[in-house]
Amino acid sequence: MAYGDFTLEEIELRFGVRNRTGRLFPLVTPVEPGEKLKEALQLATELPVRSEKARSETIVFPLLVELRSRNNKFFTIYSGDVLNADEEKGLRGECDFILAKDIGSFSISYPIIQIVEAKKNDLEIGVPQCAAQLIGAQIFNRKKGVTLDKLYGCVTTGNEWMFMQLEQDLLIDPRVYYLNEINELLGVFQCIIDHYRQTIP
């Protein structure tokens, strides 16, 4: 079993993590994208972006690089890395993107945001996988002696973005953000990063 094999029902049964829906970001300050990101997204509209790999290269990665640059390299980006938190419980496998606090190490320090690329362009399919990865990240961090009050996740098709938050339970935001409202989308990510900048030394 791996992250992608879970359902929300299995997550509740195995880990006692219930899920509910609710707004995570009622007040978002829009963030204007930089010129490099604007150019990258314009290029993406001109290309046949059909696969997950293409979405990663043309949309998701440039957006994350922009956020990292804006935040003085507060976090680093791991793409396609394996996060084995508890293999016996199935909390293992490759992750599309892990954003982790940048402490200058080659290996993953402690994950703060998990990003899952939706299979078949269906956000809902990716929700259980993202939830499982958040639980995995929570366990991974605790093994390193790091306890964070919240962990955030996101499922994306490239065009659509859905966010969730893990505390004791999983809160899934029903609001879907779209790439054509990039200022709002960047604002949501900035809200998350600002939270960690205030809580992580």
> Hey, what amino acid is at 137?
A
State the pLDDT at residue 54.
65
State the pLDDT at residue 112.
95
pLDDT band with cut points at 50, 70 and 90 for residue 48: low
pLDDT tens, position by position, 107-159 = 999 999 999 999 888 999 999 999 999 999 999 999 999 999 999 999 999 99
Is the model more confident about 140 or about 47?
140
pLDDT tens, position by position, 78-98 = 999 999 999 999 999 999 999
pLDDT band with cut points at 50, 70 and 90 for residue 46: confident
Kindly report each contact of residues 46-51 with a partner whose C-beta sits within 8 Å and lies 24 or more positions away, as own/partner. Answer: 49/158
State the pLDDT at residue 55.
67
State the pLDDT at residue 171.
99
* 149 three-state secondary structure: coil
pLDDT band with cut points at 50, 70 and 90 for residue 51: low
Is the model more confident about 186 or about 51?
186
Read out DSSP for 158-192? SSEEEEEEESSSEEE--PPEEGGGHHHHHHHHHHH
Q: What is the CATH number of domain 3-199?
A: 3.90.1570
Mean pLDDT value across residues 50-76: 86
Is the model more confident about 70 or about 120?
70
Mean pLDDT value across residues 19-37: 96
CA dihedral 181, 183, 187, 189 (to 10 degrees): 70
- The Cβ of residue 111 has, within 10 Å, a number of other Cβ atoms equal to 28
- How much of the chain exceeds pLDDT 90, in percent? 84
User: What's the mean per-residue pLDDT of the chain?
Assistant: 93
State the pLDDT at residue 200.
86
